[in-house]
Amino acid sequence: MAPMTEIGQQMHALVERLYPLCRSITGDGVRATLEIVGEYVPLHVHEVPTGTQVLDWTVPQEWNIRDAYIADTAGNRVVDFAASSLHVLGYSVPVAATMPLAELRGHLHTLPDHPSWVPYRTSYYKPEWGFCLAQETLDALPDGDYEVRIDSTLEDGHLTYAEHVIPGQVPDEVIVSCHVCHPSLANDNLAGIAVATFLARTLAQQTPYYTYRFIYAPGTIGAITWLARNAERVDRVKHGLVLACAGDSGQLTYKQSRRGDAEIDRVMRHVLAASERPYRVAEFTPYGYDERQFCSPGFDLGVGSLSRTPYAGYPEYHTSADNLDFVSPEAMADTLAVCREAFAVLDRNRRYVNLSPYGEPQLGRRGLYDSLGGRSDAKQAQMAMLWVLSLSDGEHSLLDVAERSGLPFDTVAAAAGALHGAGLIKV
Protein backbone atom coordinates (compact mmCIF):
# COMPACT_ATOMS: atom_id res chain seq x y z
CA MET A 1 0.00 0.00 0.00
CA ALA A 2 1.33 3.43 -0.92
CA PRO A 3 2.39 5.76 1.92
CA MET A 4 -0.19 8.31 3.04
CA THR A 5 1.79 11.26 1.64
CA GLU A 6 1.63 9.70 -1.81
CA ILE A 7 -2.04 8.81 -1.43
CA GLY A 8 -2.78 12.39 -0.35
CA GLN A 9 -1.16 13.67 -3.53
CA GLN A 10 -3.17 11.18 -5.60
CA MET A 11 -6.39 12.36 -3.97
CA HIS A 12 -5.51 15.98 -4.67
CA ALA A 13 -4.80 15.06 -8.29
CA LEU A 14 -8.29 13.52 -8.52
CA VAL A 15 -9.80 16.71 -7.10
CA GLU A 16 -7.90 18.69 -9.76
CA ARG A 17 -9.37 16.53 -12.53
CA LEU A 18 -12.91 16.90 -11.23
CA TYR A 19 -12.73 20.59 -10.35
CA PRO A 20 -13.50 22.14 -13.78
CA LEU A 21 -16.64 20.05 -14.38
CA CYS A 22 -20.06 21.67 -14.04
CA ARG A 23 -22.02 19.37 -11.76
CA SER A 24 -25.60 19.69 -10.60
CA ILE A 25 -28.28 17.37 -9.22
CA THR A 26 -28.69 15.91 -12.73
CA GLY A 27 -26.95 16.08 -16.07
CA ASP A 28 -23.84 15.25 -18.01
CA GLY A 29 -21.55 16.87 -15.43
CA VAL A 30 -22.52 14.16 -12.94
CA ARG A 31 -21.96 11.47 -15.57
CA ALA A 32 -18.53 12.88 -16.47
CA THR A 33 -17.62 12.95 -12.77
CA LEU A 34 -18.67 9.33 -12.28
CA GLU A 35 -16.78 8.31 -15.42
CA ILE A 36 -13.56 9.69 -13.93
CA VAL A 37 -14.21 8.11 -10.52
CA GLY A 38 -14.86 4.86 -12.39
CA GLU A 39 -11.24 4.86 -13.47
CA TYR A 40 -10.31 4.41 -9.80
CA VAL A 41 -13.05 2.01 -8.63
CA PRO A 42 -15.62 0.11 -10.71
CA LEU A 43 -19.05 1.74 -10.50
CA HIS A 44 -22.59 0.54 -11.11
CA VAL A 45 -24.30 3.63 -12.55
CA HIS A 46 -28.06 4.05 -12.15
CA GLU A 47 -30.28 6.29 -14.32
CA VAL A 48 -33.66 7.18 -12.79
CA PRO A 49 -36.18 8.79 -15.19
CA THR A 50 -37.67 12.24 -14.70
CA GLY A 51 -41.06 12.00 -13.00
CA THR A 52 -40.20 8.96 -10.91
CA GLN A 53 -41.82 9.20 -7.47
CA VAL A 54 -39.17 8.83 -4.75
CA LEU A 55 -40.67 8.99 -1.27
CA ASP A 56 -42.27 12.46 -0.99
CA TRP A 57 -40.23 13.81 -3.92
CA THR A 58 -40.26 13.49 -7.70
CA VAL A 59 -37.15 13.14 -9.86
CA PRO A 60 -36.86 16.52 -11.63
CA GLN A 61 -36.08 17.34 -15.22
CA GLU A 62 -32.47 16.97 -16.28
CA TRP A 63 -30.38 20.13 -16.64
CA ASN A 64 -27.44 20.55 -19.00
CA ILE A 65 -25.51 23.62 -20.05
CA ARG A 66 -23.14 24.27 -22.96
CA ASP A 67 -22.26 27.95 -22.61
CA ALA A 68 -23.25 31.14 -20.82
CA TYR A 69 -21.98 34.70 -20.70
CA ILE A 70 -22.69 38.39 -20.24
CA ALA A 71 -21.08 40.50 -22.96
CA ASP A 72 -20.76 44.27 -23.36
CA THR A 73 -21.57 46.13 -26.56
CA ALA A 74 -18.03 45.47 -27.87
CA GLY A 75 -18.58 41.72 -27.50
CA ASN A 76 -16.26 41.33 -24.52
CA ARG A 77 -17.45 38.65 -22.10
CA VAL A 78 -17.50 40.34 -18.72
CA VAL A 79 -18.88 37.18 -17.09
CA ASP A 80 -18.00 33.86 -18.71
CA PHE A 81 -19.18 30.36 -17.78
CA ALA A 82 -16.11 28.99 -19.60
CA ALA A 83 -13.92 30.59 -16.93
CA SER A 84 -15.80 29.00 -14.02
CA SER A 85 -18.91 26.85 -13.71
CA LEU A 86 -19.86 28.90 -10.65
CA HIS A 87 -20.72 31.87 -12.85
CA VAL A 88 -24.17 30.50 -13.73
CA LEU A 89 -27.07 30.06 -11.32
CA GLY A 90 -27.47 26.29 -11.14
CA TYR A 91 -30.45 24.99 -13.13
CA SER A 92 -30.83 28.30 -15.01
CA VAL A 93 -33.41 28.12 -17.79
CA PRO A 94 -32.15 29.21 -21.23
CA VAL A 95 -32.09 32.91 -22.05
CA ALA A 96 -30.96 34.97 -25.03
CA ALA A 97 -31.59 38.69 -24.64
CA THR A 98 -30.12 42.17 -24.58
CA MET A 99 -31.01 44.35 -21.62
CA PRO A 100 -29.76 47.37 -19.68
CA LEU A 101 -27.62 46.83 -16.60
CA ALA A 102 -30.43 48.15 -14.39
CA GLU A 103 -32.67 45.27 -15.50
CA LEU A 104 -29.86 42.72 -15.44
CA ARG A 105 -28.99 43.46 -11.81
CA GLY A 106 -32.05 41.56 -10.63
CA HIS A 107 -30.48 38.38 -11.97
CA LEU A 108 -26.99 38.89 -10.56
CA HIS A 109 -25.65 37.34 -7.35
CA THR A 110 -22.58 38.63 -5.50
CA LEU A 111 -20.91 38.57 -2.07
CA PRO A 112 -20.47 42.20 -0.96
CA ASP A 113 -18.58 41.12 2.17
CA HIS A 114 -16.05 39.26 0.00
CA PRO A 115 -15.91 41.39 -3.14
CA SER A 116 -13.38 39.23 -5.02
CA TRP A 117 -15.24 35.93 -4.49
CA VAL A 118 -17.93 34.41 -6.71
CA PRO A 119 -20.86 32.80 -4.85
CA TYR A 120 -22.42 29.40 -5.62
CA ARG A 121 -26.19 29.67 -6.06
CA THR A 122 -28.89 27.37 -7.43
CA SER A 123 -32.57 27.38 -8.30
CA TYR A 124 -33.40 23.70 -8.61
CA TYR A 125 -37.15 23.69 -8.24
CA LYS A 126 -38.16 27.17 -9.37
CA PRO A 127 -37.67 28.17 -13.04
CA GLU A 128 -35.19 31.05 -12.96
CA TRP A 129 -32.02 32.28 -14.58
CA GLY A 130 -29.08 34.19 -13.26
CA PHE A 131 -25.35 34.77 -13.02
CA CYS A 132 -22.92 34.76 -10.11
CA LEU A 133 -19.96 37.12 -10.16
CA ALA A 134 -17.54 39.00 -7.97
CA GLN A 135 -18.85 42.20 -6.44
CA GLU A 136 -15.79 44.04 -7.75
CA THR A 137 -16.64 42.88 -11.28
CA LEU A 138 -20.18 44.19 -10.92
CA ASP A 139 -18.95 47.49 -9.50
CA ALA A 140 -16.74 47.99 -12.57
CA LEU A 141 -19.57 47.53 -15.08
CA PRO A 142 -20.69 50.79 -16.71
CA ASP A 143 -24.36 51.44 -17.37
CA GLY A 144 -25.59 50.41 -20.77
CA ASP A 145 -26.89 47.39 -22.63
CA TYR A 146 -25.49 43.88 -22.22
CA GLU A 147 -25.98 40.71 -24.21
CA VAL A 148 -27.16 37.88 -21.95
CA ARG A 149 -26.87 34.29 -23.10
CA ILE A 150 -27.46 30.99 -21.26
CA ASP A 151 -27.32 28.03 -23.60
CA SER A 152 -28.93 25.39 -21.37
CA THR A 153 -31.60 22.72 -21.56
CA LEU A 154 -34.11 21.65 -18.92
CA GLU A 155 -36.04 18.67 -20.17
CA ASP A 156 -37.10 15.15 -19.31
CA GLY A 157 -34.11 12.93 -18.73
CA HIS A 158 -32.63 11.14 -15.74
CA LEU A 159 -31.10 11.52 -12.30
CA THR A 160 -27.75 9.72 -12.18
CA TYR A 161 -26.07 8.10 -9.19
CA ALA A 162 -23.58 5.28 -8.76
CA GLU A 163 -22.57 2.56 -6.32
CA HIS A 164 -19.40 0.63 -5.63
CA VAL A 165 -19.84 -2.52 -3.52
CA ILE A 166 -17.10 -4.45 -1.73
CA PRO A 167 -18.48 -7.87 -0.72
CA GLY A 168 -17.92 -8.86 2.88
CA GLN A 169 -18.09 -12.04 4.89
CA VAL A 170 -21.67 -11.16 5.83
CA PRO A 171 -24.44 -9.37 3.89
CA ASP A 172 -24.85 -6.72 6.60
CA GLU A 173 -23.75 -3.41 5.12
CA VAL A 174 -21.78 -0.30 5.94
CA ILE A 175 -22.68 2.57 3.61
CA VAL A 176 -20.32 5.41 2.76
CA SER A 177 -21.99 8.33 1.01
CA CYS A 178 -20.69 11.45 -0.72
CA HIS A 179 -22.54 14.04 -2.82
CA VAL A 180 -21.69 14.69 -6.47
CA CYS A 181 -23.92 17.68 -7.21
CA HIS A 182 -21.69 20.71 -6.65
CA PRO A 183 -19.70 22.41 -9.42
CA SER A 184 -16.20 23.83 -8.90
CA LEU A 185 -15.99 23.52 -5.10
CA ALA A 186 -12.89 21.65 -3.99
CA ASN A 187 -13.69 21.01 -0.33
CA ASP A 188 -17.43 20.75 -0.70
CA ASN A 189 -17.73 18.25 -2.39
CA LEU A 190 -14.68 17.00 -4.26
CA ALA A 191 -12.49 16.20 -1.26
CA GLY A 192 -15.24 13.92 0.07
CA ILE A 193 -15.46 12.15 -3.28
CA ALA A 194 -11.68 11.65 -3.30
CA VAL A 195 -11.52 10.32 0.27
CA ALA A 196 -14.45 7.96 -0.35
CA THR A 197 -12.83 6.65 -3.53
CA PHE A 198 -9.46 5.95 -1.93
CA LEU A 199 -11.14 4.44 1.12
CA ALA A 200 -12.90 2.04 -1.25
CA ARG A 201 -9.56 1.17 -2.87
CA THR A 202 -8.13 0.38 0.57
CA LEU A 203 -11.03 -1.86 1.59
CA ALA A 204 -10.94 -3.68 -1.76
CA GLN A 205 -7.45 -4.94 -0.85
CA GLN A 206 -8.82 -6.58 2.31
CA THR A 207 -11.40 -9.24 3.15
CA PRO A 208 -13.77 -7.15 5.26
CA TYR A 209 -16.34 -8.60 7.62
CA TYR A 210 -19.10 -6.24 6.52
CA THR A 211 -20.19 -5.55 2.97
CA TYR A 212 -19.24 -1.94 2.12
CA ARG A 213 -21.46 0.05 -0.22
CA PHE A 214 -20.16 3.39 -1.52
CA ILE A 215 -22.88 5.74 -2.79
CA TYR A 216 -22.05 8.62 -5.14
CA ALA A 217 -25.25 10.63 -5.47
CA PRO A 218 -26.47 14.21 -5.76
CA GLY A 219 -27.32 15.75 -2.40
CA THR A 220 -30.80 15.38 -0.92
CA ILE A 221 -32.68 14.17 -4.01
CA GLY A 222 -30.00 11.55 -4.73
CA ALA A 223 -30.00 10.10 -1.21
CA ILE A 224 -33.80 10.15 -1.19
CA THR A 225 -33.83 8.34 -4.54
CA TRP A 226 -31.40 5.71 -3.23
CA LEU A 227 -33.52 5.17 -0.12
CA ALA A 228 -36.72 4.90 -2.16
CA ARG A 229 -35.16 2.33 -4.48
CA ASN A 230 -33.66 0.32 -1.59
CA ALA A 231 -36.42 0.59 1.02
CA GLU A 232 -37.00 -3.18 1.13
CA ARG A 233 -33.36 -3.99 1.80
CA VAL A 234 -32.33 -0.99 3.87
CA ASP A 235 -32.52 -3.12 7.02
CA ARG A 236 -29.19 -4.62 5.92
CA VAL A 237 -27.53 -1.25 6.62
CA LYS A 238 -26.02 -1.57 10.07
CA HIS A 239 -23.66 1.41 9.99
CA GLY A 240 -22.90 4.37 7.75
CA LEU A 241 -20.80 7.47 7.23
CA VAL A 242 -21.35 10.57 5.10
CA LEU A 243 -18.15 12.26 3.89
CA ALA A 244 -18.02 15.98 3.08
CA CYS A 245 -15.69 18.96 3.51
CA ALA A 246 -12.86 16.47 3.89
CA GLY A 247 -9.85 18.46 2.73
CA ASP A 248 -9.56 21.81 4.55
CA SER A 249 -7.12 22.66 7.33
CA GLY A 250 -9.68 22.61 10.15
CA GLN A 251 -9.84 19.99 12.87
CA LEU A 252 -11.84 16.83 12.28
CA THR A 253 -15.53 17.03 13.18
CA TYR A 254 -17.77 14.01 13.65
CA LYS A 255 -21.51 14.63 13.62
CA GLN A 256 -23.35 11.85 15.40
CA SER A 257 -26.33 9.96 14.04
CA ARG A 258 -29.83 10.91 15.14
CA ARG A 259 -29.66 8.02 17.62
CA GLY A 260 -26.48 9.35 19.18
CA ASP A 261 -25.59 5.89 20.50
CA ALA A 262 -25.25 3.99 17.23
CA GLU A 263 -22.19 1.78 16.98
CA ILE A 264 -20.62 4.09 14.38
CA ASP A 265 -20.99 6.96 16.88
CA ARG A 266 -19.18 5.02 19.58
CA VAL A 267 -16.47 3.86 17.18
CA MET A 268 -15.80 7.36 15.86
CA ARG A 269 -15.69 8.84 19.37
CA HIS A 270 -13.28 6.11 20.47
CA VAL A 271 -10.97 6.43 17.46
CA LEU A 272 -10.83 10.22 17.64
CA ALA A 273 -10.26 10.22 21.40
CA ALA A 274 -7.49 7.62 21.10
CA SER A 275 -5.70 9.60 18.40
CA GLU A 276 -3.49 12.62 18.95
CA ARG A 277 -5.58 14.71 16.56
CA PRO A 278 -7.62 17.73 17.62
CA TYR A 279 -11.27 16.93 17.00
CA ARG A 280 -14.85 17.82 17.80
CA VAL A 281 -17.93 15.65 18.22
CA ALA A 282 -21.18 17.39 17.32
CA GLU A 283 -24.73 16.40 18.17
CA PHE A 284 -27.10 15.48 15.36
CA THR A 285 -29.16 18.22 13.75
CA PRO A 286 -31.63 17.75 10.87
CA TYR A 287 -29.59 20.16 8.74
CA GLY A 288 -26.44 19.51 6.80
CA TYR A 289 -25.63 16.70 4.39
CA ASP A 290 -27.35 13.42 3.59
CA GLU A 291 -27.02 11.98 7.08
CA ARG A 292 -30.34 13.73 7.65
CA GLN A 293 -31.97 11.56 4.97
CA PHE A 294 -30.49 8.29 6.22
CA CYS A 295 -31.37 9.24 9.81
CA SER A 296 -34.93 10.35 9.04
CA PRO A 297 -37.25 8.67 11.58
CA GLY A 298 -38.79 6.19 9.13
CA PHE A 299 -35.35 4.73 8.37
CA ASP A 300 -33.44 5.75 11.53
CA LEU A 301 -30.17 4.32 10.25
CA GLY A 302 -26.99 4.55 12.28
CA VAL A 303 -25.29 7.00 9.94
CA GLY A 304 -23.00 9.82 11.07
CA SER A 305 -21.03 12.41 9.14
CA LEU A 306 -17.30 13.10 9.09
CA SER A 307 -15.86 16.39 7.91
CA ARG A 308 -13.12 18.76 8.84
CA THR A 309 -14.63 22.24 9.19
CA PRO A 310 -18.33 21.33 9.08
CA TYR A 311 -21.20 22.42 6.86
CA ALA A 312 -21.23 26.22 6.28
CA GLY A 313 -18.60 26.63 8.99
CA TYR A 314 -15.94 28.48 6.97
CA PRO A 315 -16.15 31.75 5.01
CA GLU A 316 -15.05 30.11 1.76
CA TYR A 317 -18.03 27.72 1.88
CA HIS A 318 -20.05 27.77 -1.36
CA THR A 319 -17.79 30.36 -2.98
CA SER A 320 -15.00 30.45 -5.55
CA ALA A 321 -12.54 30.64 -2.64
CA ASP A 322 -13.25 26.94 -2.05
CA ASN A 323 -10.67 26.20 -4.71
CA LEU A 324 -7.76 23.84 -5.26
CA ASP A 325 -5.55 25.84 -2.91
CA PHE A 326 -8.11 25.54 -0.11
CA VAL A 327 -7.68 21.76 0.16
CA SER A 328 -4.43 19.97 0.85
CA PRO A 329 -3.10 16.45 0.29
CA GLU A 330 -2.16 16.31 3.97
CA ALA A 331 -5.68 17.11 5.21
CA MET A 332 -7.32 14.60 2.86
CA ALA A 333 -4.77 11.94 3.88
CA ASP A 334 -5.56 12.62 7.54
CA THR A 335 -9.31 12.29 6.92
CA LEU A 336 -8.72 9.04 5.06
CA ALA A 337 -6.54 7.71 7.88
CA VAL A 338 -9.30 8.30 10.43
CA CYS A 339 -11.80 6.51 8.19
CA ARG A 340 -9.43 3.56 7.89
CA GLU A 341 -8.92 3.44 11.65
CA ALA A 342 -12.64 3.67 12.37
CA PHE A 343 -13.61 0.95 9.91
CA ALA A 344 -10.82 -1.29 11.21
CA VAL A 345 -12.46 -1.05 14.64
CA LEU A 346 -15.99 -1.42 13.28
CA ASP A 347 -15.06 -4.46 11.22
CA ARG A 348 -13.55 -6.31 14.21
CA ASN A 349 -15.99 -5.28 16.92
CA ARG A 350 -17.63 -8.53 18.04
CA ARG A 351 -19.34 -9.90 21.10
CA TYR A 352 -17.86 -13.09 22.49
CA VAL A 353 -18.90 -15.73 25.00
CA ASN A 354 -16.37 -17.15 27.48
CA LEU A 355 -16.33 -20.94 27.11
CA SER A 356 -14.54 -21.37 30.44
CA PRO A 357 -16.41 -18.86 32.59
CA TYR A 358 -16.02 -20.54 36.01
CA GLY A 359 -12.87 -19.08 37.42
CA GLU A 360 -9.94 -17.84 35.42
CA PRO A 361 -8.80 -20.38 32.80
CA GLN A 362 -5.16 -21.43 32.88
CA LEU A 363 -3.57 -19.44 30.09
CA GLY A 364 -0.04 -20.74 30.59
CA ARG A 365 -0.75 -24.36 29.70
CA ARG A 366 -2.41 -23.19 26.51
CA GLY A 367 0.74 -21.34 25.48
CA LEU A 368 -0.97 -17.96 25.57
CA TYR A 369 1.58 -16.40 27.91
CA ASP A 370 4.44 -17.88 25.90
CA SER A 371 3.04 -16.24 22.77
CA LEU A 372 3.67 -12.85 24.37
CA GLY A 373 7.39 -13.43 24.80
CA GLY A 374 9.46 -10.59 23.42
CA ARG A 375 6.53 -8.24 23.01
CA SER A 376 7.19 -4.77 24.36
CA ASP A 377 3.56 -4.61 25.45
CA ALA A 378 3.42 -8.10 26.96
CA LYS A 379 1.93 -6.88 30.24
CA GLN A 380 -0.72 -4.88 28.37
CA ALA A 381 -1.53 -7.83 26.12
CA GLN A 382 -1.89 -10.10 29.16
CA MET A 383 -4.28 -7.63 30.77
CA ALA A 384 -6.25 -7.48 27.53
CA MET A 385 -6.72 -11.26 27.62
CA LEU A 386 -8.01 -11.08 31.18
CA TRP A 387 -10.38 -8.24 30.33
CA VAL A 388 -11.73 -10.04 27.27
CA LEU A 389 -12.35 -13.19 29.32
CA SER A 390 -14.04 -11.17 32.05
CA LEU A 391 -16.42 -9.32 29.76
CA SER A 392 -17.13 -12.07 27.22
CA ASP A 393 -20.66 -12.70 28.37
CA GLY A 394 -22.41 -12.19 25.05
CA GLU A 395 -23.45 -8.68 26.07
CA HIS A 396 -20.18 -6.75 25.85
CA SER A 397 -18.39 -6.00 22.59
CA LEU A 398 -14.64 -5.60 22.15
CA LEU A 399 -15.22 -1.85 22.01
CA ASP A 400 -16.86 -2.13 25.44
CA VAL A 401 -13.76 -3.96 26.64
CA ALA A 402 -11.41 -1.32 25.23
CA GLU A 403 -13.40 1.55 26.73
CA ARG A 404 -13.79 -0.04 30.15
CA SER A 405 -10.20 -1.26 30.41
CA GLY A 406 -8.60 1.81 28.87
CA LEU A 407 -6.58 -0.47 26.60
CA PRO A 408 -6.06 0.16 22.86
CA PHE A 409 -8.69 -1.51 20.68
CA ASP A 410 -6.00 -3.18 18.56
CA THR A 411 -4.55 -4.84 21.68
CA VAL A 412 -7.98 -6.02 22.80
CA ALA A 413 -8.81 -7.38 19.32
CA ALA A 414 -5.47 -9.23 19.18
CA ALA A 415 -6.16 -10.74 22.61
CA ALA A 416 -9.60 -11.88 21.48
CA GLY A 417 -8.03 -13.49 18.41
CA ALA A 418 -5.57 -15.42 20.57
CA LEU A 419 -8.26 -16.56 23.00
CA HIS A 420 -10.54 -17.58 20.14
CA GLY A 421 -7.72 -19.56 18.57
CA ALA A 422 -7.19 -21.34 21.89
CA GLY A 423 -10.86 -22.29 22.08
CA LEU A 424 -11.58 -20.19 25.17
CA ILE A 425 -14.14 -17.86 23.59
CA LYS A 426 -16.57 -17.98 20.69
CA VAL A 427 -18.36 -15.26 18.72
Please state, in angstroms and rounded to a whole number, the distance separating the CA atoms of residues 65 and 165: 31
Q: What is the CATH number of domain 351-426?
A: 1.10.10.10
pLDDT at 208: 96
Indicate the domain borders of the chain: 4-60+158-348, 62-155, 351-426
Closest among 173, 172, 209, 195 to 340, alpha carbons compared: 195
pLDDT tens-digit map of 353-373: 999 999 989 888 888 876 655
pLDDT tens-digit map of 226-238: 999 999 999 999 9
Please state, in angstroms and rounded to a whole number, the distance separating the CA atoms of residues 37 and 52: 26
pLDDT tens-digit map of 5-52: 999 999 999 999 999 999 999 999 999 999 999 999 999 999 999 999
350 Rama class: left (phi>0) / alpha (psi -120 to 50) / beta? beta
- Work out the average pLDDT over 400-421: 94
* Arch. (CATH architecture) of 62-155: 3-Layer(bba) Sandwich (3.50)
Looking at the DSSP assignment, which residues form a beta bridge with residue 67?
151
Task: Kindly report each contact of residues 396-404 with a partner whose C-beta sits within 8 Å and lies 24 or more positions away, as own/partner.
Answer: 396/351, 397/349, 397/350, 397/351, 398/348, 398/349, 398/350, 398/351, 398/352, 399/263, 399/266, 399/267, 399/270, 399/345, 399/349, 402/270, 403/266, 403/270
- Examine the pLDDT at 376 and tell me if it is beyond 70: no
pLDDT at 355: 95
Please state, in angstroms and rounded to a whole number, the distance separating the CA atoms of residues 73 and 147: 7
pLDDT tens-digit map of 255-274: 999 999 999 999 999 999 99
- For residue 375, name the pLDDT band (cuts at 50, 70, 90): low
pLDDT at 366: 85
Instruction: Determine what percent of the chain is predicted with pLDDT higher than 70.
Output: 98
The 10 Å Cβ neighbour count of residue 61 is 16
pLDDT at 363: 86
Q: What is the CATH number of domain 4-60+158-348?
A: 3.40.630.10
> Are 346 and 263 a contacting pair, CB within 8 Å?
yes
- For residue 378, name the pLDDT band (cuts at 50, 70, 90): confident
How does the average pLDDT of the chain come out, rounded?
96
pLDDT tens-digit map of 273-315: 999 899 999 999 999 999 999 999 999 999 999 999 999 999 9
pLDDT at 2: 76
Please state, in angstroms and rounded to a whole number, the distance separating the CA atoms of residues 247 and 86: 20
